[in-house]
Structure 1
Amino acid sequence: MERIKVLVVDDSAFMRKLITDILESDQNIEVVGTSRNGLDAIEKVKKLRPNVITLDIEMPIMDGIQALQNIMNDNPTPIIMLSSTTKLGAENTILAMHYGAIDFVTKPSGSISLDLEKVKDDLIQKVKSASKANIQNLRYPSETKQLLVPERPQASFKVEIRRMSKWSQGRNKLICIGISTGGPRALQKLLAGFPENLEAPILIVQHMPAGFTKSLANRLNTLSKIHVKEAEEGEVIQKGTAYIAPGDFHLQVKQLGTNIVVQLNQAPPLNGHRPSVDIMFQSISQLPNYDKIAVIMTGMGSDGAQGLIELKKKGTVKAIAESENSCIVFGMPKAAIATNLVDEVEDLEKISQAIMKYLP
Structure 2
Amino acid sequence: MKPYKVLVVDDSAFMRKIISDLIENDADFQVTATATNGREAIEKINKLRPDLVTMDVEMPEMNGLEALKIIMASDPLPVIMLSGINEEGMKETILALEWGAFDFIRKPSISNSQDITGVGESLREQMKEAMLAREQREARASAFRMPDITPLEPLLPTPSRLLPDKSKAALKSSLKDEGMRKPRGKQPVDSIIPKKATKPIISAKTPIIEKAKPKSKAENKPIPPKPVIDSLVEVSSDPPGLSPDRMVGSKNLHKLVAVGCSTGGPRALKVLLEKIPADFPAPIVIVQHMPPNFTKSLAQRLNTFSPLEVLEAEQGMILRKGAAYIAPGGYHLQVTPTSKGQYAVVLTKEEARNGHRPSVDVLFESLLPLTSLDRHVLLMTGMGSDGARMMKSLYDSGVTSTFAESEETCVVYGMPRSAVELQCVKHVLPLQEIAPRLVQAVK
Q: Residue 157 and residue 305 in structure 1: after superposition, are their counterparts in 2 closer, same or farther (change >3 A)?
A: farther
- Aligned counterparts, 1:187-226, within 5 A: 187-226=269-308
Shift of 1:91: 0.6
Q: Deviations over 1:9-32 (max 9, x none)?
A: 001111111111111011111112
Tell me the secondary structure at the aligned position of residue 209 of structure 1: coil
Equivalent residue in structure 2 for 1:327, among 407, 410, 413: 410
Q: Counterpart in 1 of 2:102?
A: 102
Equivalent residue in structure 1 for 2:255, among 166, 169, 173: 173
Q: Counterpart in 2 of 1:146?
A: none
- Aligned counterparts, 1:9-88, within 5 A: 9-88=9-88
Shift of 1:306: 0.4
Q: Counterpart in 1 of 2:125?
A: 125
Contact persistence 2:316–2:346 (CA under 8 A): yes
Tell me the secondary structure at the aligned position of residue 325 of structure 1: helix
Contact persistence 1:107–1:113 (CA under 8 A): no
Q: Which moved more, 1:30-39 or 1:116-125?
A: 116-125
Structure number with bigger Rg = 2
TM-score (norm 1): 0.89
Which stretches in structure 2 are left out of the alignment for 5+ residues? 138-150, 163-251
Tell me the secondary structure at the aligned position of residue 304 of structure 2: helix
Letter in 2 for 1:340: Q
Shift of 1:4: 2.3
Shift of 1:160: 10
Q: In the alignment, is residue 349 of structure 1 matched against residue 437 of structure 2?
A: no
Q: Counterpart in 2 of 1:287?
A: 370
Contact persistence 2:84–2:107 (CA under 8 A): yes
**Whole-Å separation in 2 of the counterparts to 1:286 and 1:58:** 46
Q: Residue 230 and residue 41 in structure 1: after superposition, are their counterparts in 2 closer, same or farther (change >3 A)?
A: same
Tell me the secondary structure at the aligned position of residue 133 of structure 2: coil
Contact persistence 1:174–1:293 (CA under 8 A): yes
- Aligned counterparts, 1:140-159, within 5 A: 151=152, 153-154=154-155
Shift of 1:44: 1.0
Tell me the secondary structure at the aligned position of residue 273 of structure 1: coil
Which stretches in structure 1 are left out of the alignment for 5+ residues? 138-149, 162-169
Q: Counterpart in 2 of 1:300?
A: 383
Equivalent residue in structure 1 for 2:326, among 225, 244, 249: 244
Tell me the secondary structure at the aligned position of residue 32 of structure 2: strand
Letter in 2 for 1:284: L
Question: Percent identity at matched positions?
Answer: 47
Shift of 1:309: 1.4
Q: Deviations over 1:270-318 (max 9, x none)?
A: 1211111111101111212111111110111111110101212334331
Q: Counterpart in 2 of 1:184?
A: 266
**Whole-Å separation in 2 of the counterparts to 1:108 and 1:20:** 13
Tell me the secondary structure at the aligned position of residue 408 of structure 2: coil
**Whole-Å separation in 1 of the counterparts to 2:158 and 2:325:** 31
**Whole-Å separation in 2 of the counterparts to 1:48 and 1:345:** 39
Contact persistence 1:134–1:329 (CA under 8 A): no
Letter in 2 for 1:220: L
Letter in 1 for 2:30: E
Q: Deviations over 1:43-70 (max 9, x none)?
A: 1111222221100011111111101111
TM-score (norm 2): 0.72
Q: Which runs of 4+ in 1 moved over 6 A?
A: 155-158
Q: Residue 232 and residue 152 in structure 1: after superposition, are their counterparts in 2 closer, same or farther (change >3 A)?
A: farther
Contact persistence 2:261–2:382 (CA under 8 A): yes
Tell me the secondary structure at the aligned position of residue 133 of structure 1: helix
Contact persistence 1:24–1:30 (CA under 8 A): yes
**Whole-Å separation in 2 of the counterparts to 1:291 and 1:219:** 29
Shift of 1:154: 4.2
Q: Residue 12 and residue 235 in structure 1: after superposition, are their counterparts in 2 closer, same or farther (change >3 A)?
A: same
Contact persistence 2:161–2:428 (CA under 8 A): no
Q: Counterpart in 1 of 2:355?
A: 272
Q: Residue 171 and residue 227 in structure 1: after superposition, are their counterparts in 2 closer, same or farther (change >3 A)?
A: closer
